[in-house]
Amino acid sequence: MSSERVSLVKQFGFESAHFLPRVPEGHKCRRMHGHSFRVEVEVTGPIDPEFGWLMDYGEISAVVKPVVAELDHRLLNDIPGLENPTSEVIAVWLWERLVPDLPQLSRVSVLETCTTRCDYRGSK
């Protein structure tokens, strides 16, 4: 069973405001506005033959929750590295903070709305 590869996905959420300073004047996203962001974190790897799982979901939470807490109820533009907080920039920002403690990380998705999302799979 250890040669079987699986992916686990766990969702997290945070509430934040942002504006996009680099879009043209008059664009609605240039004005400050808020979102109920959702983040999906995916890890991929082999099933551990002893436990029958890739990893405990609690291990994922222990790494991700403190990082997501840095974004919750904040103006994202005030956070270093998020001065232009597009979904793409947020996804890369999250990846860079998660992957050192979550080496099985295979995808970070940022959902601004229920119909929009950005998937980032690291720089390969």
> Residue 29 catalytic?
yes
Q: Residue 79 is encoded by which pair of tokens?
A: 């956070």
> Residue 33 catalytic?
no
Which one is catalytic: 29, 35, 59, 118? 29
> Residue 112 catalytic?
yes
Instruction: List residues bridging with 7 in a β-sheet.
Output: 44
Are 19 and 28 spatial neighbours (Cβ–Cβ below 8 Å)? no
CA-based nearest residue to 75, from 12, 13, 15: 15
Which one is catalytic: 33, 73, 83, 88? 73
Which one is catalytic: 35, 42, 112, 118? 112
Name the residues annotated as catalytic. 29, 73, 112
